[in-house]
Structure 1
Amino acid sequence: MKKKYQNGFFIFGIIVLGIMVTQLDFAEVWQGLQHAGYWFFAVVALWAFLYIFNTATWYIIIRSQEKKPEDRVRIPFWWLYKVSVSGFALNYATPGGLMGGEPYRIMELKPKIGVERATSSVVLFVMTHIFSHFWFWLLSIPLFVFTQPTTTFMAIMLSLAGFFCLSAIWFFLSGYKKGLAVRVMRLLGYIPGLRKWADRYVAENAEQLQNIDRQIAALHNQDPKTFFTAVSSELLCRIFSALEVYFILLVLMPDANYLNCILIISFTTLFANMLFFMPLQLGGREGGFLMSVSGLGLTASAGIFVALIVRVRELIWTAIGLLLIKCFKQSDTEKQD
């Protein structure tokens, strides 16, 4: 990636991060960190481990596209790890989520494998990342039914959530089979103000979009084992991410239940992703924690404490990811332009 673009991503992320930090109540944060003690460091370190799953998924997808000898390019796993962490940091800091991290990943990977493979691998990773969320939410429904008392209201809500998740899974499976690039660009044409641009873009880049769609479809249609491995890696990341809530709740209650933590993460991420347009899902994640812990019989103060620690952890990893943008060696970036 050219240095001016790299600096642009870095400066934008730092500005947004600074704005988000100013929204914190520093006295409350300090009190929460003192209460969490060494468990806070365990929470921060956990995400260094969880990002390995995300990177492994993307790495598997990139390798699955090596159909010809000339497609085989050495991409160091830990270089991809740094790009992945930085991409998530930009997503956290960007309203709308995918507006920052995904273009950055494509631009970093493009010099190594070309724009079409870079774009299709990033699109496939995003699809797999979101696809695993729907499976996680769907699997959490029977977990709730078997472990928690279920009222009529909750039964109705769980049924609606199940229908929503199954519909989304069907949509993504259809996208995996046929590709999504052309379909998404055509859908953009229905948005007021974007129709002319979308139609012109599809007309000018029809061949490239079709190639991207063929590469997307190849993962599911021609390599189902790799597809299953990629989805499983992301799903395991979702399950292990509940360790974060578990570590935090151990501060408040030594008898914390890990299954409850999975449900808390499931309900919280579902609610937070409904507010995807907000930077770092400000307010949405906190509201999700409050609703999920109260729904499982925990106190509101426990939900506030969990939300506070998670928010600080997110800010720390956002800062780490933004700093990693500037940590690439020259040989990895501008020398390839």
Structure 2
Amino acid sequence: CGLMGGEPYRIMELKPYTGVSKATSSVILYVMMHIFSHFWFWFLSIFLFIAFNPVGLSMGILLTVIGAFCILAIYFFSRGYKTGMAQKGIRLLTHIPFVKGWAQRFAESKKETLEQIDSQIALLHQQHKRTFYSSLLFELSARILQSFEIYLILKAFNAEVGIVDSILILAFSSLFSNLIFFTPMQLGSREGGLALAVDGLHLTGALGVYTGLITRLRELVWIAIGILLIKIGNKNQLPKDTSDNSKS
């Protein structure tokens, strides 16, 4: 299912502990923050590129377009954090052929639940700003740590790169691969993005392909661990009574 395969499973796992609406809002908030941090990472990387690299006319135009796109997305998500996203998402589906009939029926039958989910989404930004900004900082920090993986892999091939170069490689390759989000596990798009990003530093594009393949091995290991935890992770845990109407 591309990059959207885990959300139903997360909701299913959280449901016995928090109830349907809280589980759904929590998962939506996680996905929103994950995407929100990507836009901030790409936006901040523009200034990092300008600070450490010469910028010609064509590159300046490209960076301007990317910056405008990121600002628009950041504004959109900021509005979503204030008013919620669930009802807006369903309303968007009502205009899409083949699913608009289902979306209209779902919006009518689940109106109260959707309103409750949106109120819980808005609650994070309105009353828990410290948690909100802490989670954003952790997400951005995760991008920086991920760039160290690229740095160490390229150093293993004796490439002349620094941490700043690795951050820019990650920023460009993740932007490229997310623009082609519909490919399962970003197969090919990530490697292509890494090859282009590495080539931009006047290194051979093959290093980008090697880096992508090595990061795939790390992902496969985590996938195996995740599948194992699905089998054994929560067998001995008894979920408490956490229906949406219960007292916390």
Q: TM-score range by the shorter chain?
A: over 0.9
Scaled by the length of structure 2, what TM-score is found? 0.93
Structure 1 residue 198: deviation in Å?
0.5
For 1:195 and 1:271, how far apart are their aligned partners in 2?
Answer: 30
Does 1:213 find its partner at 2:148?
no
Structure 1 residue 322: deviation in Å?
1.9
Alpha-carbon deviations, 1:155-211, whole Å to 9, x = none?
111100000000000000000000000000010111101111111101001001000
User: What 5-or-longer segments of structure 1 have no aligned partner?
Assistant: 1-93
Amino acid in the other structure paired with 1:185: I
1:263-302 pair list within 5 angstroms: 263-302=168-207
Q: CA RMSD in A?
A: 1.6
Query: CA 1:186 to 1:250, structure 2 compared with 1: closer, same or farther past 3 Å?
Result: same
Cross-structure match for 2:218: 313
Cross-structure match for 2:63: 158
For 1:312 and 1:329, how far apart are their aligned partners in 2?
Answer: 26
1:88-127 pair list within 5 angstroms: 94-95=1-2, 97-98=3-4, 100-127=5-32
- Is the Cα–Cα contact under 8 Å of residues 275 and 281 in structure 1 kept in the other structure? yes
Cross-structure match for 1:225: 130
Compare 251-260 and 176-185 and name the one that shifted more. 251-260
Structure 1 residue 300: deviation in Å?
1.6
For 1:134 and 1:140, how far apart are their aligned partners in 2?
Answer: 10
Cross-structure match for 2:245: none
Amino acid in the other structure paired with 2:98: G
Query: CA 1:333 to 1:134, structure 2 compared with 1: closer, same or farther past 3 Å?
Result: farther
Cross-structure match for 1:251: 156
Does 1:203 find its partner at 2:111?
no
1:49-198 pair list within 5 angstroms: 94-95=1-2, 97-98=3-4, 100-198=5-103
For 1:295 and 1:333, how far apart are their aligned partners in 2?
Answer: 53
Structure 1 residue 238: deviation in Å?
1.0
The list of structure 1 runs, each at least 4 consecutive aligned residues, that deviate by more than 6 angstroms after superposition, is: 333-336
- Is the Cα–Cα contact under 8 Å of residues 137 and 165 in structure 1 kept in the other structure? yes
Alpha-carbon deviations, 1:283-305, whole Å to 9, x = none?
10011001101112221222222
Alpha-carbon deviations, 1:68-118, whole Å to 9, x = none?
xxxxxxxxxxxxxxxxxxxxxxxxxx32x11x2011011001101111111
Cross-structure match for 1:234: 139
Query: CA 1:273 to 1:208, structure 2 compared with 1: closer, same or farther past 3 Å?
Result: same
Between 1 and 2, higher relative CO (CA 8 Å, sep ≥ 6) is seen in 1
Structure 1 residue 323: deviation in Å?
2.1
Structure 1 residue 333: deviation in Å?
7.3
Query: CA 1:131 to 1:167, structure 2 compared with 1: closer, same or farther past 3 Å?
Result: same
Amino acid in the other structure paired with 1:134: F
User: Of 312, 318, 330, which aligns to 2:235?
Assistant: 330
Structure 1 residue 255: deviation in Å?
4.7
- Is the Cα–Cα contact under 8 Å of residues 108 and 333 in structure 1 kept in the other structure? no
Query: CA 1:221 to 1:329, structure 2 compared with 1: closer, same or farther past 3 Å?
Result: closer
Task: Work out the number of aligned pairs and report it.
Answer: 241
Give the percent of matched residue pairs that are identical in Structure 1 and Structure 2: 49
Alpha-carbon deviations, 1:113-141, whole Å to 9, x = none?
11111110110010001000000000000
User: What 5-or-longer segments of structure 2 have no aligned partner?
Assistant: 242-248
For 2:139 and 2:240, how far apart are their aligned partners in 1?
Answer: 33
- Is the Cα–Cα contact under 8 Å of residues 132 and 234 in structure 1 kept in the other structure? yes
Structure 1 residue 334: deviation in Å?
9.3
Amino acid in the other structure paired with 1:137: W
Query: CA 1:282 to 1:149, structure 2 compared with 1: closer, same or farther past 3 Å?
Result: same
Scaled by the length of structure 1, what TM-score is found? 0.69
